[in-house]
Amino acid sequence: MRWFADLEKNENGIWWAVCLKENKTFIGAGGLNNLSQAHKKAEVGFWLLPDYWGQGIMTEAMPLIINHAFKNLGLHRIEGFVEKENANCKKALAKLKFNHEGCMQDFEIKNGEFISLDVYAKINNA
């Protein structure tokens, strides 16, 4: 939760809590990072508590974030960076019609090891 609190201070992004409809239980968060009005783009991010993985929650909530970015913020491009092994996230982005643009090899260090990230993007063609 410290990570989420730090994001709230970030002036280059906007995040929302993801809660269950029936009882408002907090189960994750989704939003935009590296928001650039100058370049009309942002990076989408999403995380859920493990108990809620694979239930279609991301594909239900993400269109709300995407629509807000395109319609209310006037963005043209939304990017998604996904760890190479994260098959569930890749499937969700494909369902949301994000295009796979390539892979950045050994792009970041996680737990002391280099990881590669696949790049996805959705363009506002409206």
Q: For the chain, give every domain's residue range.
A: 2-123
pLDDT, one tens digit per residue, over 100-117 is 999 999 999 999 999 999
Q: What angle do CA 69, 123, 9 make, to 5 degrees?
A: 35
Mean pLDDT within 83-99: 91
Report strand pairing: 77-83 vs 41-48.
parallel
Instruction: Please state the pTM of the whole predicted model.
Output: 0.82
CATH 3.40.630.30 fits 2-123, yes or no: yes
Instruction: Encode 10-27: b = buried (16+ Cβ within 10 Å), e = exposed.
Output: eeebbbeebeeeeeeeeb
In the chain, count H helices and then E strands.
Answer: 3, 6
pLDDT at 10: 53
Please state, in angstroms and rounded to a whole number, the distance separating the CA atoms of residues 32 and 113: 26
DSSP H helices, 11-73, are: 57-67
